[in-house]
Structure 1
Amino acid sequence: MDDHRAGRLDEAALGYRRVLEHEPHHADALYLLGLIEFKRGKADSAAQWIRQAIDIHPSPMFLGSLGNVLSAMDDAAGAEAAYRRVIELNPDDVDANLKLGVLLTNARRWDEGEALLRHALALDPARAGSYRHLGRSLVLQRRFAEAEPLIRRAIELRPDDARTHAGLAAALVSQGRDDEAQRACTTALAIDPQCVDALVNQGLIQLNASRLSEAEHALRAALEVDAGHAIAQFNLSAVLLKEGRYEEGWRLYEARLAPDVRVDQPLDGNRSEWHGEPLQGKSIVVLCEQGFGDMLQFCRYLPMLWRLGPARLTIVCPASLTRLLETMDGAPSWVLTSDRHDAVDHDFWCALMSLPLRFGTTLQSIPAASPYLKAPEAALRRWRAWLPSGGFKVGLVWAGDSRIRQADARIVDRRRSLHAHDFAPLLKVAGATFVSLQLGRLSRPQIEAIDPQWRPLDPMGEVADFADTAAIVQCLDLVIAVDTSTAHLAGALNCPVWILSRFDGCWRWLEHRDDSPWYPSARLFRQRSAGDWTEVVERVTQALHERLASGA
């Protein structure tokens, strides 16, 4: 604050104090003195003065200003109470509905927040901020197509707001429309070169295009403006992990647990997050997270954790994994459960994908010994009897999980998936028996699009869980899969696996290499141009011809 303005505020404050000397219950003087204190950056003092004014005259204006002050103090409960009192007095107060809607949106109380934002919009359809905040709420809920027209209307009403153009970029990039998103970012950054959300989206667009140095530059610029921006940290972690820069990468990857990045949170209660403290005689619960591939890749750390000597180790994981995880070293002594409520009385908790950070994993120290999983013997006997006894057997996976309710995840899934008929050249390779390992309500039926004479065997209708899939994989000579849980499963079983990776491949496969330090049995076939699977399938088909010809 410049000296001139500070002097004027001092002069005004002195005037109101003189009024209060003669009239201590002058509500307007108390209120205005509170506003001056707020402008001076003294929020605590401001709240005290405004509360005194409210005690005398609880007007909507006074209450709304108290809500603003408390919101700036990060007193969400106090601000909510103030805004609600405004709405009780005047249900059609646009500001109170809008600000309470934003407050509840930030608290992930989606339905309440959205209702208030929509009411504010109905009360004043010409206010750009109402469209922007409602659009932001829908973006946070991953309802990107619904958010887009609202954000575009906000831009029509106020084209000079960089935040709104950045919001449009977020809605577009999450629909896979990176070129349009880039234009929105360019506009936002022309208005405000330090617009954090625009820099974050710029970084994501460049990450999607595998321009890693440019992505890193944009994301670090965002963090210079807002060092605690969780999405910027998370996206930068993907850049660093992709480049094998694990020390900083794992640390920033912890941002995935922040509310801005994910909705599901770790356990409530008083347990401490484990950061490497001694575990002798203690109990710890590990929370499996994200997709099945992530769980299969990082469950390798569970025996390492058990060797630290905890009295009790509980793993919260999907039921479809428990029979397979029971085969791990040390697993008979663990508690495997799918119920988070079974894990409430532990000394520590840890998210599964935080274990590489806790164990200080570098590119050189990846615990790559395999197999670290194996199929149960009963399942192996069953599937050996089901599958053909001779010949070279190849398992196939052509698509990932569509995750219908997650629009951004669907975009990634489309980039990593093929259609079953795209494998047609591969299926004509003589000397191989093909077996479908494909699951999924939408993708498994695609097998019907394959000519019956080339159609793979399909045992997946009789598969109950990952233990069954593991048994089938162990009966095969090779698995060829897009980047899915089955690819990770084959690697964890130390079975030969050829992984078809999209152009903007996942960070775990690193860059510019056709092997994986995580899975010694894996070979990578990367897209050389975005979206082109035809050339990848041609290379895989040639490689399979060579493999069969070699007799390996």
Structure 2
Amino acid sequence: MRFTYFFLLCFLALSCSSDADSWLEEAKKRLKAGETVSAKEAIQKAIEKNPGLAEAYNLQGVILFQEKDLVGAEAQYRKAISLKPSLVQAQLNLGALLMENGKWKDAFEPTNKAVTLQPDSSAGYLQRGIVLAALGKPAEAKADFTACLKIAPNDINAHYNRGNIFFQELNYPEAIRDFEASVGVDPEFAKGYYALGLSYYYFKAKDKACLALQQAKKLKYPGASQAVKSLCDE
């Protein structure tokens, strides 16, 4: 009899967990379809079924972040992390929110935690590289962008951000290499062409600089028209 009772409790617990996961998946579908209000309702159902479902709080934070409620989003991300510290996406999301608030030192801890938890993910290295660059640690930032590119060779943001550091270091050949890679990934990447144009210009390759700046102008990148006018004798 005692065994039967224990089995029943386990069955109910598993059923609740399964129901919560189903509601969470439903919330993701609704959010993807742009149905924010009904997505929130589904998340609430998931939490009612399983108050310890960290992924539900994380998703709630994502919605609040999209709605520009950064205080609410941060609370949800921290709740998710308190329930499940190994939830990489919540760690990254919290780091991204703190970056949005300009709290770069605070952003490092959750972002670094995400990299530690999932060292084979390019997203963590990219985000940590951006944080390190903002904290004035260019060598470490470049190392992270390089690590990101080893995993995801076509990550446009890793190429662009590493290129920016090379540019600031006056290492124009390396900057050119990264900016060329970025526009190779996306031929519509306007700021990549702009940065490439400036890199070529300071590398004393004016013809190539103007071609890149003209493309940035064509793609309506801010400042490109003025750069073409002042640097390309137009």
TM-score range, shorter chain: 0.7 to 0.9
Q: 1:208 to 1:157 in 2, by over 3 A?
A: closer
Match of 2:74 in 1: 47
**1:129 match:** 157
Alignment of 1:342-353 (within 5 A): none
Matching residue's letter, 2:127: K
Q: Which one has the bigger strand percentage?
A: 1
Partner of 1:188: 216
List aligned pairs for 1:199-348, cutoff 5 A: 199=223, 202-204=225-227, 206-208=229-231
In the alignment, is the contact (CA less than 8 A) between 2:210 and 2:228 conserved in 1? yes
CA deviation after TM superposition for structure 1 residue 7, in Å:
7.8
Q: Does 1:140 align with 2:163?
A: no
Write out per-residue CA displacement over residues 433-460 of structure 1, whole angstroms, 9 at most, x where no aligned residue: xxxxxxxxxxxxxxxxxxxxxxxxxxxx
1:92 to 114, 120, 139: 120
Aligned-partner residue type, residue 156 of structure 2:
A
The question of whether the paired residues in 1 share the 8 Å contact of 2:105 and 2:135 is answered with: no
Give the TM-score normalised by the residue count of structure 2.
Answer: 0.77
Structure with the bigger percentage of helix: 2
- Matched-pair contact (CA < 8 Å) for 2:95–2:110: yes
User: CA, structure 1 residues 205+174, in 2 after alignment: closer, same or farther (shift >3 Å)?
Assistant: farther
1:164, 1:67 → 2: CA distance?
25
Kindly indicate whether the alpha-carbon contact (under 8 Å) linking 1:168 and 1:181 is maintained by their aligned counterparts in 2.
yes
1:157 aligns to 2:185 (yes or no): yes
Structure 2 portions without partners, runs of 5+: 1-31
Which one-letter code corresponds to 1:39 in the other structure? Q
- Give CA deviations for 1:137-175 in whole Å, capped at 9, x if unaligned: 211222112211121122222212112111201211222
Deviations 1:43-62 (A, max 9, x none): 22111101101111121122
Distance 1:7 1:112, change over 3 A: closer
Match of 2:89 in 1: 61
Name the SS of the counterpart of 1:142 in structure 2.
Answer: coil
Q: Look up the equivalent residue of 2:39 and give its one-letter code.
A: A
Match of 2:13 in 1: none
Aligned to 1:12: 39
Indicate which of 192, 205, 214 corresponds to 1:177: 205
Q: Deviations over 1:259-314 (max 9, x none)?
A: xxxxxxxxxxxxxxxxxxxxxxxxxxxxxxxxxxxxxxxxxxxxxxxxxxxxxxxx
Which of 89, 99, 102 aligns to 1:74? It is 102
1:103 to 2:131 alignment: yes
Using structure 1 for the length normalisation, give the TM-score.
0.34
Structure 2 residue aligned with 1:32, among 59, 71, 80? 59
- Aligned pair in 2 of structure 1 residues 203, 178: CA closer, same or farther (>3 Å)? farther
Deviation at 1:118, TM superposition (A): 1.1
- Deviation at 1:204? 4.4
In percent, how many aligned pairs have the same letter? Answer: 20
What amino acid is the match of 2:64?
Answer: E
CA-to-aligned-CA distance 1:315-354 (integer Å, 9 cap, x gap): xxxxxxxxxxxxxxxxxxxxxxxxxxxxxxxxxxxxxxxx
Separation of aligned partners in 2, 1:185 and 1:137: 20
Aligned to 2:6: none
SS at 1:153's partner residue?
Answer: helix
Q: 1:77 is matched by which residue type in structure 2?
A: K
CA distance in 1 between partners of 2:98 and 2:135 (Å): 15
Q: Is the 8 A contact 2:108 2:128 kept in 1?
A: yes
- In 2, Cα distance between equivalents of 1:173 and 1:104: 28
CA distance in 1: counterparts of 2:217 and 2:114, whole angstroms:
37
Per the TM alignment, residue 37 of structure 1 is displaced from its structure 2 partner at its CA by 0.4
Q: Distance in 2 between matches of 1:44 and 1:170?
A: 39
- Shift, 1:183, TM fit: 1.7
Deviations 1:124-146 (Å, cap 9, x if unpaired)?
22323222221122112221122
Gaps of at least 5 residues in structure 1 are 215-552
Contact (CA 8 Å) 1:173, 1:205: kept in 2 or not? no
Matched to 2:60, the amino acid is L
Superposed CA offset, 1:524-543 (max 9, x none): xxxxxxxxxxxxxxxxxxxx
The alpha-carbon deviation at position 19 of structure 1 amounts to 3.0
Answer yes or no: is the 8 Å Cα contact 1:63–1:83 preserved in 2: yes
Equivalent-residue separation in structure 2 for 1:172 and 1:136 (angstroms): 13
Q: Deviations over 1:484-514 (max 9, x none)?
A: xxxxxxxxxxxxxxxxxxxxxxxxxxxxxxx
Alignment RMSD = 2.3
Secondary structure of the residue aligned to 2:187 is coil
Q: In structure 1, what is the Cα distance between the partners aligned to 2:33 and 2:159?
A: 35
Q: Indicate the SS of the match to 1:74.
A: coil
- Which residue matches 2:8? none
Larger Rg: 1
**Offset at residue 6 of structure 1 (A):** 11
Query: Partner of 1:91: helix, strand, or coil?
Result: coil
SS of corresponding position for 2:35: helix
